């Protein structure tokens, strides 16, 4: 049998000291299982728990085989075997397991070639970091995602041939005003889109958010803040920025802690961008900067204290935004958030401090803090793919000197319609985003960061979501058309 063709890169070998540190930790902490986690194409975390007796120094080189054909968007059943290689630098104790358990994030490797699996999102992030260094433009990229989410007391939903329904319940919800509670109805709750930074008891979940951040700290993240967001039942937690791969790893831990902490309180959390009709949706604003030899590349003397390089980076983001939407906003629900009138950053413009623009430059005096904030992504995104795609768009802008034009000042939401029509927008649907990616993806192929095969697999996977929604009757359609 001929050897398979090599298509990827070989992951770095971990030091003996790093591996021994993990094995010593297992012994000292009385750990029973090593929970190996990896991210599929759709951004979901998967895992397998290995008894620690099966973890040896060789495991960090040979890995553990699993069935990649069972992960949507990956291998066919005839080439299913892939290996999970634990990354010892990611090892943390699980904050939620009943018995001591070590969590390690894994890279996916082809066991026959020993190379990274090209469709592994974490491998894409690795290639993006390596490509950045190869350009000479910078040697580090930092990302600071701000994930927003909703917390509900109950979430009931179901779809069948003869029904389609959902019902969300929250002590902050509009329906709660006349509801009887065993402890009484205290009447203190946010109004419509009136929750931003409200104090308890109007804000009903400060203790839960504190618990979430504390658990994230236990799992290696650096907490910074938390607060109630604009919509009823909507929240945000802030964590410190990190390198591309580390920031993506952190976002997976972030979501894990939010979901499980909510469950421990008898609640349920969702990162759906738009679960509530008429309220603001949830985004994942992503702060970005690149550095070279320890110096911030984005600091300069141009607009808002940015460098010309930073402006070109913004130009690349705005130029490729519609294609980026396929990765930064990869759910059909994403585009129910990206609508005018709900503080959604739909207009492809940039501005200092202006939160109505899709690209904001935060006002900071320290040159080290100079960065751009891309505001249209949401947390249904696979963080490895979304961060990598944005970095590649920004680098393309730098290489081709794509200037973003004049900055836009003032509230863009209140522009006269004729002026607003002149400003390009993000995509209006997942279908249009996938079509944009089909037409505009050469910038992603530079340096082999993404592959044509990977991009097509992403389009095919997401088109299944599009088609499922498009062929499903919607409850609103019954109200509009049933009696015609």
What three-state secondary structure class fits 472? coil
Catalytic residue status for 375? yes
What is the rounded distance in angstroms from the CA atom of residue 349 to the CA atom of residue 484?
A: 43
Q: Which residue, among 146, 343, 143, has the nearest Cα to 237 in the 3D structure? A: 146
Is residue 122 part of the annotated active site? The answer reads no
Q: Which of 87, 94, 148, 172 is catalytic?
A: 148
Is 224 one of the annotated active-site residues of the chain? no
Q: Give residues with Cβ within 8 angstroms of 148, minimum separation 6.
A: 229, 234, 235, 236, 271, 282, 283, 284, 379
Determine which one of 42, 120, 129, 229 is catalytic.
Answer: 229
Residue 470, preceding bond cis, omega within 30 degrees?
Answer: no
Selecting among 42, 120, 203, 236, the annotated active-site residue is: 236
Tokens of 434: 């996938």
Residue 139 is a catalytic residue: no
Q: Which residues contact 50 (CB under 8 A, 6 or more apart)?
A: 33, 34, 35, 36, 64
- For 281, the token pair is 């949706």
How many residues are there in the chain? Answer: 484
End-to-end CA separation in angstroms for the chain: 65
355 among known catalytic residues? yes
DSSP-assigned beta bridge partners for residue 34: 50, 102
Provide the token pair at 13: 């070998």
229: annotated active-site residue: yes
Which of 14, 227, 355, 428 is catalytic? The answer is: 355
- Which residue, among 260, 214, 219, has the nearest Cα to 237 in the 3D structure? 214
Confirm whether 285 is a catalytic residue: yes
226 is annotated as an active-site residue: no
Q: Measure the CA–CA gap between 135 and 77, rounded to whole angstroms.
A: 38
Q: Which residues are catalytic?
A: 67, 146, 148, 229, 236, 285, 355, 373, 375
């Amino acid at each position: 049998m001929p050897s398979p063709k090599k298509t990827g890169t070989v992951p770095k070998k971990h030091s003996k000291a790093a591996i021994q540190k993990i094995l010593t930790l297992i012994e000292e902490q009385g750990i029973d299982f090593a929970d190996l986690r990896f991210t599929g194409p759709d951004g979901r975390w998967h895992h397998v728990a290995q008894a620690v007796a099966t973890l040896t120094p060789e495991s960090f080189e040979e890995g553990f085989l699993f069935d990649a054909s069972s992960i949507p968007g990956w291998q066919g059943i005839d080439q299913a075997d892939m290996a999970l290689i634990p990354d010892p630098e990611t090892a943390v104790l699980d904050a939620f397991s009943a018995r001591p358990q070590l969590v390690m994030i894994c890279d996916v490797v082809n066991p026959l070639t020993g190379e990274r699996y090209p469709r592994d999102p974490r491998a894409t992030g690795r290639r993006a970091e390596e490509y950045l260094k190869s350009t000479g433009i910078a040697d580090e990229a930092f990302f600071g995602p701000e994930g927003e989410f909703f917390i509900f007391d109950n979430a009931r939903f179901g779809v069948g041939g003869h029904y389609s329904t959902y019902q969300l319940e929250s002590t902050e919800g509009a329906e709660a005003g006349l509801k009887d509670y065993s402890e009484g109805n205290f009447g203190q709750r946010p109004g419509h889109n009136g929750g931003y930074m409200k104090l308890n008891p109007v804000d009903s979940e400060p203790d839960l958010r504190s618990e979430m951040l504390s658990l994230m700290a236990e799992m290696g993240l650096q907490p910074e803040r938390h607060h109630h967001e604009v919509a009823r039942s909507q929240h945000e937690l802030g964590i410190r920025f990190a390198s591309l791969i580390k920031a993506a790893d952190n976002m997976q831990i972030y979501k894990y802690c939010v979901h499980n902490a909510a469950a421990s309180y008898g609640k349920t959390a969702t990162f759906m961008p738009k679960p509530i009709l008429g309220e603001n949706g949830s985004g994942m604003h992503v702060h970005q900067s690149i550095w070279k030899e320890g110096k911030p590349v984005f600091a300069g003397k141009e607009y808002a204290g940015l460098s010309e390089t930073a402006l070109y980076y913004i130009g690349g983001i705005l130029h490729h935004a519609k294609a980026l939407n396929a990765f930064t906003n990869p759910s059909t629900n994403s585009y129910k958030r990206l609508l005018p009138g709900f503080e959604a950053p739909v207009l492809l413009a940039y501005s200092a401090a202006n939160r109505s623009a899709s690209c904001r430059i935060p006002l900071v005096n320290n040159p080290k803090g100079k960065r751009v904030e891309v505001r249209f992504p949401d947390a249904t995104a696979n963080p490895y793919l979304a961060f990598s795609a944005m970095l590649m768009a920004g680098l393309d802008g730098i290489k081709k000197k794509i200037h973003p034009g004049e900055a836009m000042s003032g509230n863009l939401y209140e522009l006269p319609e004729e002026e607003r029509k002149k400003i390009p927008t993000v995509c209006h649907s997942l279908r249009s985003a996938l079509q944009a990616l089909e037409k505009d993806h050469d910038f992603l192929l530079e340096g082999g960061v993404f592959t044509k095969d990977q991009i097509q697999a992403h389009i095919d996977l997401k088109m299944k979501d599009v088609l499922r929604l498009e062929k499903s009757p919607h409850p609103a359609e019954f109200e509009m058309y049933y009696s015609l």
